[in-house]
Amino acid sequence: MKYIHPTSDIFIKYLFGMEGDNLLLKDFINAIQKNCGLPLITSLEVRNPFNLKTIYFDKESILDIKAVSETGEIFNIEVQTSGSEIFRNRSLYY
């Protein structure tokens, strides 16, 4: 049996990105919201994680998870195993 690493893209997408079953993702986001003193969300919809180009020279990106709350708040979720200069630049882009 092959081992799937718990921080791999496929595991994160399976754990949090299942359409129609957003309870774990909602709880994860609410734990972060609560820790930051932000309002909790009551519902959530998983969206297409592809950010397509809007203009020719723009860059296409793919998130681990993209979700939208009932108030229209967008949550871009990227799981990284360690900090790096590349991630800092990528997070500014997203």
Asked whether the predicted pLDDT for residue 36 surpasses 80, the reply is: yes
Beta bridge partners of 42: none
Give the SS3 label for residue 14: helix
CB 74 within 8 A of CB 46: no
**Can you tell me the mean pLDDT for 72-88?**
73
Amino acid letter, residue 60:
E
The residue whose two tokens read 């723009």 is 58
**Can you tell me the mean pLDDT for 49-69?**
66
The number of folded domains in the chain is 1
Confidence of residue 86 (pLDDT cuts 50, 70, 90): low
Q: Is residue 4 part of a domain?
A: no
Question: pLDDT: is 12 or 27 the higher one?
Answer: 27
Domain of 41, in residue numbers: 9-93
Asked whether the predicted pLDDT for residue 93 surpasses 60, the reply is: no
Q: Is residue 3 part of a domain?
A: no
